[in-house]
Amino acid sequence: MTKTQQGLLLILIFFCLMPSLAVAQDGVLPALTVTTGPDGATEYSVTMQILLLMTAMSFIPAMVIMLTSFTRIIVVLSILRQALGLQQTPSNQVLIGISLFMTFFIMAPVFDRVYKEAVEPYMNESMTLTQAYDVGKEPVKSFMLSQVRTTDLQTFIEISGYTDIQSPEQAPMSVIIPAFITSELKTAFQIGFMLFVPFLVLDLVVASILMAMGMMMLSPMIVSLPFKIMLFVLVDGWSLVMGTLANSFGI
């Protein structure tokens, strides 16, 4: 960008901001205000709400990955691909797509509750943004508490230093989220181990046969790969894996 273009851009930005600066009083823009209602509730201006929502949208990918069933599904599918001996098939894009749509399927009841109890009242202006957030986080919190292990939750409670938490429901989201992620990883590796064992046994059998036949230079992975794929297809593996993942969340 040339100096002339930079100068024109600065002038354009100045004229865009000048009307707002002209009506500002005491150094505060009227469009960006926070007021306290008669009942003590905090209310934000429309511009501030839009700013907060746009900021929150940048965290949506992390929220979808960490606060839902996505982590468990993608880890299990990755371990399954490794157990089959397929390095790039299915590709990462396919695994992520499968995990994403499985997440929508599993989390549908939670998303419906969030929409009906928080998003819809907020859009109807019967609930403030703060109230919608407090109500909307409860279904997600309940889902995470239903999947988190007590030992993991207790570990993070002790690390955080909270001493007044008597039940899991009293734990804040800052404690529940890392405990939930830890529990999901542990559960995913447990399921992945159960999937890995049959294919490992098949690899050992093929390796033993090749060694008994004196075929030292032939890789057992090459010979066992079609047998593992055939075994996985014959037992309807994809349906079993998807059903197991869904049932592991209590669906």
pLDDT in tens, the chain (251 residues): 554 444 434 443 433 444 443 444 444 444 445 455 555 555 555 565 566 666 666 667 777 788 888 989 999 999 998 888 887 788 888 899 999 899 989 988 888 888 888 888 878 878 777 787 788 888 888 888 888 888 888 888 888 877 777 777 888 888 888 899 999 999 999 999 998 888 888 888 888 887 887 777 777 777 788 888 888 888 888 888 898 888 888 76
- pLDDT for the residue numbered 121: 82
- pLDDT for the residue numbered 57: 67
- pLDDT for the residue numbered 73: 92
Interatomic CA distance for residues 119 and 52, integer angstroms: 15
Farthest CA pair distance, the chain = 89
- pLDDT for the residue numbered 22: 41
Interatomic CA distance for residues 146 and 124, integer angstroms: 31
Interatomic CA distance for residues 200 and 193, integer angstroms: 10
- pLDDT for the residue numbered 224: 80
- pLDDT for the residue numbered 87: 76
- pLDDT for the residue numbered 53: 65
Note if the pTM is more than 0.95: no
Nearest one of 186, 184, 228, 190 to 207, comparing CA atoms: 228
